[in-house]
Structure 1
Amino acid sequence: MADYGAEVIKVEPPGGDPFRFQPAWMSWNRGKKGIVLDLNTAEGREQAIQLAGEADVLVESFRPGDMADWGLAYDTLSQLYPRLVYCSMTGFGQEGPLRRVKGYEGIVAAKAGRMLNLQGQPNRDGPVYSAVYTGSWHASQAAMRGIMAALRVRDRCGRGQWVRTSIVQNLASPHDNNVGDGGLVNMQLRRIDPERFPSRPRGRGLSSIGYVPVRTKDGTWLQHANQRVPHIQGHLKAIGLGHLLEDERFKNVPAISEENRELLRREILKKQLEKTADEWMEIYLQDGNIAAEPYRNSIQAMDHSAVLANSSVVTIHDPRVGPMHTLAPLVDLKNTPGEPSGPAPDVGQHNADVLGRLRQQAGAVSGSTPEAHGANVPAHPLAGVTILDLATVQAGPYGAALLADLGARVIKIDATDRRLDDGRRSTAQAMADSRTYCGKECIQVDLQTPEGKAIVHKLIAKADVLSHNFRLGVPERLRIDWETCRKINPRLIHVWMGTYGEHGS
Structure 2
Amino acid sequence: MMSNSTAKGALAGIKVLDLSRVLAGPWATQMLADLGADVIKVERPVAGDDTRHWGPPFLKDDAGNDTREASYFTACNRNKRSITVDMAHPEGQALLRQMAAEADVVVENFKVGGLAQYGLDYDSLKTLNPKLIYCSITGFGQDGPYAERAGYDLMVQAMCGLMSITGHADEQPGGGPLKVGVAVIDVFTGLYASNAILAAINARDNARTGTGEGQYIDMALLDVGMAVLANQAAGYLATGQAPGRAGNIHPSLAPYQDFKTSDGNVLLAIGNDGQFTRFCAAVHQPEWAQDARFATNTARVQNRTALLALMVPLMQTRSTQEWIALLEDKAVPCGPINTVAQAFADPQVHHRGIAQSLPRQAGDGIGHVATVANPMRLSATPVTYRSAPPTLGQHTHEVLREMGVSEARISALYADQVI
Q: What band does the TM-score fall into relative to the shorter chain?
A: 0.7 to 0.9
Give the whole-Å Cα distance in 1 for the aligned partners of 2:116 and 2:177: 37
Match of 1:281 in 2: 324
Does the 8 Å CA contact 2:165/2:243 hold for their aligned counterparts? no
Whole-Å Cα distance in 2 between the matches of residues 116 and 337 of structure 1? 39
Residue 163 of structure 2 corresponds to residue 139 of structure 1: no
Q: Is contact 2:167-2:247 (8 Å) kept?
A: no
Of stretches 248-257 and 230-239 in structure 1, the one that deviates more from structure 2 is 248-257
**Per-residue deviation, 1:12:** 0.6
- Over 3 Å counting, the alpha-carbon distance change for 1:153 and 1:212 in structure 2 is closer
- Give 1:303's aligned amino acid: A
1:267 and 2:310 aligned: yes
Contact persistence 2:272–2:297 (CA under 8 A): no
Residue 335 of structure 2 aligns with which residue?
293
Change (3 A) 1:21 1:242: farther
- Is the Cα contact below 8 Å between 2:165 and 2:244 reproduced in 1? no
Matches within 5 A, 1:48-447: 48-118=96-166, 121-123=169-171, 127-155=177-205, 156-174=210-228, 177-179=229-231, 183-191=232-240, 206-207=249-250, 208-217=253-262, 219-256=263-300, 258=302, 260-287=303-330, 289-318=331-360, 321-360=366-405
Q: 1:32 aligns with which of 80, 84, 88?
A: 80
TM-score with structure 1 setting the length = 0.63
Task: Report if aligned partners of 1:226, 1:290 keep a CA contact under 8 Å in 2.
Answer: yes
Task: Give the corresponding residue for 1:18.
Answer: 50
Q: 1:105 to 1:275 in 2, by over 3 A?
A: same
Quick check: 43-52 or 244-253, which moved more?
244-253
Alpha-carbon offset, residue 62 of structure 1? 1.0
Structure 2 unaligned residues grouped into runs of 5+: 1-31, 55-70, 407-419
Percent of aligned pairs sharing the same letter: 28
Q: CA RMSD in A?
A: 2.5
Return the TM-score normalized by structure 2. Answer: 0.76
Give the residue type in structure 2 aligned to 1:7: D
Query: What's the CA shift string for 1:267-293, capped at 9, x where partnerless?
Result: 222112222222221122221x11121
* Structure 2 CA distance for aligned equivalents of residues 80 and 257 of structure 1: 59
**Counterpart Cα distance in 1 of 2:107 and 2:219:** 11
Q: Which has the higher contact order (CA 8 A, sep 6+)?
A: 2
* Whole-Å separation in 2 of the counterparts to 1:224 and 1:257: 15
* Residue 243 (structure 1) shift: 2.8
Distance 1:249-1:4 versus aligned 2 partners, 3 A rule: closer
Unaligned runs of 5+ in 1: 192-197, 362-505
The answer to whether the Cα contact below 8 Å between 1:37 and 1:44 also exists between their aligned partners in 2 is: yes
